[in-house]
Amino acid sequence: MNVDVNYLAVFLAAVSSMVVGSIWYMPAVFGRSWMKLKGVKMDKKMGGSQAGVTYGLTFVASLLTAFVLAHVSFIAHKFYGNSFLSDTVQTAFWLWLGFTAARLLVHDLFEFRRKKLTLLNAGHELVTVLVMALIIGAMGV
């Protein structure tokens, strides 16, 4: 079976993850809580090259996530046969639950991170993949 992927949808989904992250971690939204839970000081800022590498690699990771979501959603859609949008959103949720939330929980338990931090980061990841799914699902293959 050939898997069809809409590369424009993948690109836009990756961009959406950057938008979701910038909104989620704004001080007025969850940024202050995240900084407090992580012990991050506002007076420390990333240098230009460090910021470029960080955001560049984050975008590459987002492209990979969006591509895998589109790929697996195509397969799920062929199996379930619902609307592509519905199959993509459901696939995103189950991938998030089984791979992102579960693994994040395990790491955070062993690193003794606070439960609130785990919930905050897991919530961010859920919103991120659901927005990706809406874009990929709405645009189709």
Give the pLDDT confidence of 32-76 residue by residue, as tens digits.
999 999 988 876 677 778 889 999 999 999 999 999 999 999 999
Residues 135, 67, 78: CA angle, nearest 5 degrees: 80
Q: Is residue 118 situated within a structural domain?
A: yes
Q: Is residue 2 situated within a structural domain?
A: no
Average pLDDT for residues 11-38, to the nearest whole number?
Answer: 96
pLDDT digits 0-9 by tens, 93-110: 999 999 999 999 999 999
Q: Is residue 77 situated within a structural domain?
A: yes
**3-state secondary structure string, the chain?**
CCCCCCHHHHHHHHHHHHHHHHHHCCHHHHHHHHHHHHCCCCCCCCCHHHHHHHHHHHHHHHHHHHHHHHHHHHHHHHHHCCCHHHHHHHHHHHHHHHHHHHHHHHHHHHCCCCHHHHHHHHHHHHHHHHHHHHHHHHHCC
Determine the pLDDT at residue 36.
94
Number of domains in the chain: 1
Determine the pLDDT at residue 31.
95
Q: Is residue 64 situated within a structural domain?
A: yes
What is the average pLDDT score of the chain? 95
Q: Is residue 113 situated within a structural domain?
A: yes
Determine the pLDDT at residue 110.
97
Q: 131 lies in which domain range?
A: 7-139
Listed residue (19, 54, 23, 24) closest to 135, CA to CA: 19
Reading phi first (left if > 0) and then psi (alpha if -120 to 50, else beta), residue 41 is in beta
Q: What is the pTM of this model?
A: 0.93
Q: Is residue 18 situated within a structural domain?
A: yes
